Amino acid sequence: MKKSIPVLLLFALLLTACGAPPASALATPVSTPAISAAPAASLTPAPAPSAAEEAGSSQEGDRPLEDVLAAVDGWALPEKSGVKYWLDTKEGLKLHCWFISEGPAYYESVYTAVLKKASYADGVLTVPQLRDRFGFPLRSLKELRLRFEEDAVTMEVDVDEAKLAGGAGDNLLAGSYRFVPWDKPCTPPVESKIVEPFGDLILPCNGFAHTENGVVRYWLETADGIRLRCWFVSEGSTYCTKIYTVPPAKAERRGDWIVCDELLDEQGQALPGLRAFSLQFREDSVLMAVTRNPQSLAGGTGDNLASGQTLFTPYSGSYLPPVLDGEPPVVSDYDGYTCTEDGNVRFWLESEGLRLNLTLHCFFPVGDRSVREQVWHIDADRAFFTGTTLTVEELLDSYEESVFDGYSAFSFHFAEGQVLMHVERDEEAEEGAFYIPEGDYLFLPPGAIVD
């Protein structure tokens, strides 16, 4: 039986046979390459998630959602001579809706799809939530689905009818809607027909308006001929509406101009003293020129269609008369007036007696389900009345810190039974967590019923 040689003894014999290295060599440390520090992580923010990333992974075989959305930008649901709904996919997905509440004017509401809560598979985008322009969820919506086809998009809407605010005319209702490619202006769905000698020149300009201080002064209706709706001041305290019609038999088309020497009022009577009336229909505006004998004006220029030029531009805001100039109002009379949208209070006014003691309560969305109230005070030293219009040049929060940065115009127009807040923002203003978007906001008395 053979005896095994210990492993350590065998290793020592091998070293001796090969020649062991000198002790100095064994003592020399092994050189290691220097390890350079890794570069600091870049502070550049990560790119925003794409539409597909927000909406979840698409199944194999689906086109990327970004490509699908880009292909349907501007597609619309035609109705009468305009559109009822249209899609804006330049940044995410927005649904533009033309609603009508009261008066002859349509107004536009824009809803943004919350794509991070959506899912996309088999050519169907399922959206559980839409947000209004304030960032609040559309409460009545249960689910919205977009089915993308080669030449159309079908929108299926499920709603909770118990949560609808207002009537059928100003709500996104349950149903199926078909969008198709659309290369015309996305104007409201008015009933239009071509009237000679105007031809189709006037049709795209229906609803164009001339505004003063953010509210309508003149309104142009071109769906069936040409009608001019005017709001005039009568006796300095109330406004009145007058409608003038261009009689086709007395009108002539000259290129992009419609000219005539007669306007008819609602009783079919000619407007006295009119020497010339013309409308130039441009690509995105209408210029009205009036020449009238001043001796024929009944009253002052405030309640008459007087000589001069007036520019009309596309308009989709509130159907409201102009705010009258007069004595400054008693602001406390408007204490508790609220501005609501989709049944939710967005703003309300608080005032106690003093002429410029006005506080604006704002409700801003925070996250998906919560709201935060911000209380802004009017700085009495930086606000002034012009008639019944309060122009504000400074707003302070509860800590007396300014929150006015980014606003180029901010005013309140007081009228009987209503207040209109007009907001304009600087083009380069940053949109922080709490800000009021540009626009006009109507405040009504507490408990007022909004049709």
What gap in Å lies between CA 161 and CA 139, rounded to an integer?
10
Closest CA to 187 of 215, 171, 209, 167: 209
* Model pLDDT, residue 303: 57
Give a three-class secondary structure readout of 203-219: HHHCCCEEEECCEEEEE
Tokens at 295, concatenated: 């001796």
* Model pLDDT, residue 40: 36
* Model pLDDT, residue 63: 82
* Model pLDDT, residue 48: 52
* Model pLDDT, residue 110: 87
Pair 392, 414: CB distance under 8 Å: no
Mean pLDDT by groups of 10 residues along the chain of 451 residues = 47 47 39 36 45 56 85 91 88 89 67 92 94 80 95 95 74 93 78 74 87 79 86 60 88 92 88 92 93 72 76 72 60 89 87 73 83 86 78 85 86 87 83 80 77 47
Tokens at 88, concatenated: 């804006």
* Model pLDDT, residue 390: 85
* Model pLDDT, residue 389: 83
* Model pLDDT, residue 353: 56
Tokens at 206, concatenated: 């229906």
Hey, is 165 helix, strand or coil? coil
- Give 312: exposed, middle or buried? Use CB within 10 Å, 0-12, 13-18, 19+: buried
What gap in Å lies between CA 24 and CA 29, rounded to an integer?
10
What gap in Å lies between CA 73 and CA 66, rounded to an integer?
11
What gap in Å lies between CA 349 and CA 443, rounded to an integer?
8
* Model pLDDT, residue 237: 46
353: left (phi over 0), alpha (psi -120 to 50) or beta: left
Q: In angstroms, what is the C-alpha Rg of the chain? A: 34
* Model pLDDT, residue 73: 93
